[in-house]
Amino acid sequence: MKTLLLLTVLLSTVLAVTAIPVEAVEPVEEKQELQEENLVAENEAGEFVPEAQEPEMLPAEEMAPSRKGRFFLCPAGWERYKSSCYLYVSASKSWSNAAANCNNLGATLASAHDLFEYSFLQQLTLRAGSSYAWMGGLYFQGWRWVDQSPWNYNFWYTQNSVSAYQCLYVRSTTGWANNACTTGWPSICRKGTDTC
At 193, the pLDDT band (50, 70, 90 cuts) reads confident
Q: Which amino acid is at 93?
A: K
Nearest-angstrom CA–CA distance, 180 and 16: 57
Q: Please give the residue that has the higher pLDDT: either 158 or 53.
A: 158
What per-residue confidence (pLDDT) applies to 47? 53
pLDDT of residue 92: 97
What ranges do the domains of the chain cover? 2-67, 77-192
9 or 173: which leads in pLDDT: 173
How much of the chain exceeds pLDDT 90, in percent?
A: 60
| Amino acid 20: pLDDT | 45
Instruction: Say if residue 23's pLDDT is above 70.
Output: no
Q: Can you point out the beta strands (E) in 19-110?
A: 79-81, 84-93, 108-109
Spell 31-44 as b/e; 16+ CB within 10 A means b: eeeeeeebeebeee
pLDDT at residue 192, rounded to an integer? 85
Question: Identity (one letter) of the amino acid at 154?
Answer: N
pLDDT at 73: 87
Q: What is the mean pLDDT of residues 171-177?
A: 96
Poorest-pLDDT segment among 49-63, 110-124, 177-191: 49-63
What is the pLDDT, as a whole number, of residue 25?
44
Alpha carbon dihedral 79, 81, 86, 89, in 10-degree steps, equals -70
Pick the more confident residue, 70 or 107.
107
Indicate whether 103 pLDDT > 50. yes
The mean pLDDT of the chain is 78
**CA distance to 2, 8, 26, 41, 159, per residue, from 12 (Å):** 15, 6, 14, 15, 61
**Global pTM?**
0.64
The predicted pLDDT at position 72 comes to 74
Report the chain's terminal Cα–Cα distance, integer Å.
49
Higher pLDDT, 36 or 81: 81
Selecting from 3.40.50.150, 3.90.550.10, 3.10.100.10, 3.30.70.1450, what CATH number does the domain 77-192 have?
3.10.100.10
Neighbouring CB atoms inside 10 A of 156's CB total 12
Residue 3 has pLDDT above 90, yes or no: no
Instruction: Answer whether residue 89 shows pLDDT above 60.
Output: yes
CA separation for the pair 9, 186 (Å, rounded): 58
